Structure 1
Amino acid sequence: MTTSTHLMRQRRFLPLFLTQLLNALNDNLYKNAMVLFVVYQVYDSPEMETLISGVATALFVLPFVLFSATAGQLADMRDKTKIIRWIKFAEILIMSVGATGLLLAAKGVQIESLAIPLMFVALFAMGVHSTFFGPIKYAILPQHLHKDEVLAGTGLVEAGTYVAILVGMMLGGAMPIMYSIVGVIVIALIGYVTCRWVPPAPAQSDENTVDWNPIRASKSLIAFSMGNLELRYSVLAISYFWAIAAILSVQFIPLAKNVLLADKQVAAVLLVAFSAGIAIGSVSINALLKGDISARYSARSVLVLGVLLIAFYGVCRMWNLQPQGELFTVWEFLAQPLALVLTFNLLLIAVAGGMFVVPLYAFLTTRVDKSEASRSVAANNFISSIFMVIGAGVAGALGFFGIPLEEQLLLSLILCVFSAQLARKLHATEALRDAEVESLR
């Protein structure tokens, strides 16, 4: 049985699902509470706002580049469940440090000399924490689920992650700072209790020597990921997708403010639509594929995403509406004739994205030996992080050179074509492998 409701009743899946959901929730609650508090309560300058936001993003992404290779090796060579428990215990300590920094800042005590450094140390540590947890949340699925359940499990993990990111972002922006301080510690404690219910997942590899040199380990990881055709095409297609996501994320809030002339609550509504779309697409692709791990719909999905981006661009160009005040409020925005079209368009873009990326994540853990599944996911995390940084950098450079925000959207179309081509190659390789297996029977 491959239905989501079936898996959500199983101990071999539900505790892991809840653990990763709480992990993503806490990451984003802390990060957004910290950045918004520092930007709006501590400093009052656009330059410092940009600097703080950029430093926070860099500190969180950097560990994925530095430690993904080591994280993948460790998860393949040790019991994944034991690693999860150590990671979740570390989260309690990390969030205690971050909460201390937030508390000092809220009280106005040694803000620049102690409070902000503590917050950034905790943010970097949470990036390390997520780097080591990331390979496990996908690689553990083939150990606990049946073959025809892996796609459904992957879709649920992806959907849960996006829902948790959205809720964390909203809570981080809406809750008073003292509630956020208590919340990050409480969520870390609940996450640790939940992870204790994850069944054992012993090492599948006979290797037991971890290479702690990040440069050498990263080179080895890249060679490993590029040496398997299905893995290579999956990793590169996912990485191009995350480059698209990085470009859109950089453009999203400026576009809402400067093109749609909408306030930050409207931007939050659009983020809700986007996150809901990813969740819908992540779950619905399993129903379409009926549990079969295949890339046969991936190329079409990302091309549909590209067409929808063109439609979104067109709606933005047609948006010549002026608010009564400085910016549209939520209700003023929703009352505009193009608002529902634009929101639904954004929802469908995200649905297409979810349908594209979930089967590719399933390839990472099922097209290699179980003893290499974590390294497969780690390779994807490493390369995707680099693509995201490049994508965000290119988007920032376009803005710096004065390219209008609407036209910046079209940059993503090139990456959609690259992703579709890689997905086609992946499906062709998949078909060839299936034919070879069939001929041996």
Structure 2
Amino acid sequence: MKASLRLLNKRRFLPLFITQLLGAFNDNLFKNAMVLFVVYQVYNDERSETWFSALATGIFILPFFLLSALSGQLADQRDKAVIIRWVKGAEIAIMLVGATGLGLIWAGIAVHTLAIPLLLLALFAMGVHSTFFGPIKYAILPQHLHDDEVLGGTGLVEAGTYIAILAGTILAGLIPVEVAAVGIVITALIGFAAGRRVPSAPSLLERTPIDFHIIRSSITLVRGTMHIRRLFLAIMSISLFWAVGSILFIQFPPLVKNVLTADKSVASLFLAIFSIGIAIGSIAINRLLCGHVSAKYAPASVIGMGACIVAFHVVCALWTPAPAGQMLSFSDFLAHPMAMPLSACLLGVATFGGMFVVPLYAFLTTTVEKCEAARTVAANNIVNSGMMVVGSVIAIGLTIAGLSVVKQLLLVALLCLPCAWLAWKLHKACDGPVCA
């Protein structure tokens, strides 16, 4: 672990780490400030709240599905550091649009006709931003780090990402929405400055024409990756994991408001606990594997995640709500006798989730040639985003069917079983130096 932390002293890692951390922070500060304000201040029924939460999730994910093939081609055939600078420059413009939307919704000006459309437009644009940055943040690591540093670097990126998500999520629930509007623009400016410090990472391939036909290039990319059995199993395992994650994130705001009868600071706490757990799991699995890329703990990890979701369901079902017309404050929630068991279950879900997914991401970038890493991650993003959209549709469908968010948790837990099966198949299929 100390060896991994020493990477934070290296210019070949630190600027990328800071750039990714600030990007994740900004994504979550903006998205959660928007969703929490709309859920708690604009809508007043569980169905509308779940619809909006699912819509926001789907809009953010859609660019990953549409543009990942293009982003993978660019990342593998152009200097990754140059792309980072362009992407972080675009983030400044996107956040100016988002800040305008937050300002309008705070002032109560044209909330439904202008403010919310502007917010969703900025959210979609941030999805595009993350689509082009996503393959780079993993594919650049094997190019800048030594082979025995890649798993540690991946773990630090994941841990840093979720610590940033934690900070952005907590602030979104605590600060006024107008302060968040200023904060997202300032963060984008700092992120742009950090991105300019990332060392050059030129293409390792001979330059070829970019296929800008997004449908054809996406099909070609996925087909060219998924026929490799190990990659197929790893990508499908990660994709099912994120389908589970997307449903949970959609459920959190309406669950906290309508089942736990708590205010938006508690909704932020839920997302924060989830982020802390992922960070803990990311670091713990690196220590368990001693820097060795392996899927051997993945099946047990995702089974543990499913068990914690079931326990979370049980605690929610036993929860005693606040008196009619009242909401639990942050301190009231912490004083509730079931608060600690509920938080422990959620922390377990996230910790086991981090232990499951981090080695699989490292596997994606180390099982192929360095020159193909970005396209492999891009293919993974296409399938991941497709599964997350499916998860969003499932959440909407179950809500329309009248199934409460508490009961939906049991169906989410069941999805952990095929995740475990795929991870076990991946572990059995692995041999050679990159697998246990």
TM-score of the pair, normalised by structure 1: 0.91
Deviation of 1:111 (Å): 5.7
Show the counterpart of 1:6.
6
Tell me if the contact between 1:2 and 1:149 (Cα under 8 Å) persists in the aligned partners: no
Show the counterpart of 2:342.
342
Show the counterpart of 1:62.
62
Q: Give, in whole Å, the separation in 2 of the partners of 1:99 and 1:404.
A: 34
What are the residue-to-residue correspondences of 1:261-410 with 2, within 5 Å?
261-319=261-319, 321-323=320-322, 326-410=326-410
Tell me if the contact between 2:142 and 2:365 (Cα under 8 Å) persists in the aligned partners: yes
Tell me if the contact between 2:295 and 2:427 (Cα under 8 Å) persists in the aligned partners: yes
Counterpart of 1:134 in structure 2: which amino acid? Answer: G
Q: Once the two structures are aligned, what percentage of the paired residues are identical?
A: 54
Show the counterpart of 1:162.
162
State the secondary structure of the residue aligned to 1:410. helix
State the secondary structure of the residue aligned to 1:12. coil
Q: Give, in whole Å, the separation in 2 of the partners of 1:22 and 1:13.
A: 15
What are the residue-to-residue correspondences of 1:38-117 with 2, within 5 Å?
43=42, 46=45, 52-106=52-106, 115-117=115-117
Comparing 273-282 with 45-54, which one deviates more in the overlay? 45-54
Deviation of 1:50 (Å): 5.5
Q: Give, in whole Å, the separation in 2 of the partners of 1:262 and 1:103.
A: 25
Deviation of 1:335 (Å): 2.7
Q: 1:349 to 1:106 in 2, by over 3 A?
A: closer
Deviation of 1:10 (Å): 1.3
Comparing 325-334 with 228-237, which one deviates more in the overlay? 325-334
What are the residue-to-residue correspondences of 1:172-321 with 2, within 5 Å?
172-319=172-319, 321=320
Q: Give, in whole Å, the separation in 2 of the partners of 1:383 and 1:364.
A: 13
RMSD: 2.5
Q: 1:172 to 1:134 in 2, by over 3 A?
A: same
Question: Would you say how many aligned residue pairs link Structure 1 and Structure 2?
Answer: 434
Structure 1 residue 411 corresponds to structure 2 residue 411: yes
State the secondary structure of the residue aligned to 2:415. helix
Deviation of 1:97 (Å): 2.9
* 1:355-377, Cα deviation, whole Å (9 max, x unpaired): 00000000111111111100111
Q: 1:11 to 1:51 in 2, by over 3 A?
A: same
Q: Give, in whole Å, the separation in 1 of the partners of 2:182 and 2:258.
A: 35
Q: 1:341 to 1:120 in 2, by over 3 A?
A: closer
Q: 1:235 to 1:336 in 2, by over 3 A?
A: same
Greater radius of gyration (CA): 1
Q: 1:287 to 1:384 in 2, by over 3 A?
A: same
Q: Give, in whole Å, the separation in 2 of the partners of 1:316 and 1:109.
A: 37
* 1:215-244, Cα deviation, whole Å (9 max, x unpaired): 001101111221222211110000000011
Q: Which runs of 5+ in 2 are unaligned?
A: none
Comparing 305-314 with 410-419, which one deviates more in the overlay? 305-314
Deviation of 1:398 (Å): 1.9
Q: Give, in whole Å, the separation in 1 of the partners of 2:295 and 2:245.
A: 20
Tell me if the contact between 1:225 and 1:235 (Cα under 8 Å) persists in the aligned partners: no
Tell me if the contact between 2:173 and 2:264 (Cα under 8 Å) persists in the aligned partners: no
Deviation of 1:108 (Å): 5.9
Q: Give, in whole Å, the separation in 2 of the partners of 1:315 and 1:118.
A: 38
Q: 1:351 to 1:375 in 2, by over 3 A?
A: same
Q: Give, in whole Å, the separation in 2 of the partners of 1:257 and 1:105.
A: 20
* 1:32-75, Cα deviation, whole Å (9 max, x unpaired): 3344455666x456476566544433322211111011001110
* 1:75-132, Cα deviation, whole Å (9 max, x unpaired): 0000101100111111122222333444455556666665554443322221111110
Q: 1:106 to 1:332 in 2, by over 3 A?
A: closer
Show the counterpart of 1:25.
25
* 1:374-404, Cα deviation, whole Å (9 max, x unpaired): 0111111111111111112212222222234
State the secondary structure of the residue aligned to 2:162. helix
Show the counterpart of 1:145.
145
Show the counterpart of 1:120.
120
Counterpart of 1:92 in structure 2: which amino acid? Answer: I
Q: 1:323 to 1:116 in 2, by over 3 A?
A: closer
Tell me if the contact between 1:250 and 1:396 (Cα under 8 Å) persists in the aligned partners: no
Q: Give, in whole Å, the separation in 1 of the partners of 2:121 and 2:399.
A: 30
Q: Give, in whole Å, the separation in 2 of the partners of 1:261 and 1:53.
A: 17
Show the counterpart of 1:424.
424
Tell me if the contact between 2:281 and 2:351 (Cα under 8 Å) persists in the aligned partners: yes
Tell me if the contact between 2:50 and 2:251 (Cα under 8 Å) persists in the aligned partners: no
State the secondary structure of the residue aligned to 1:217. helix
Deviation of 1:134 (Å): 0.6
Counterpart of 2:123 in structure 1: which amino acid? Answer: L
Q: Give, in whole Å, the separation in 2 of the partners of 1:5 and 1:249.
A: 30
Q: Give, in whole Å, the separation in 1 of the partners of 2:9 and 2:148.
A: 16
Counterpart of 1:160 in structure 2: which amino acid? Answer: G
Comparing 247-256 with 227-236, which one deviates more in the overlay? 247-256
Deviation of 1:265 (Å): 2.6
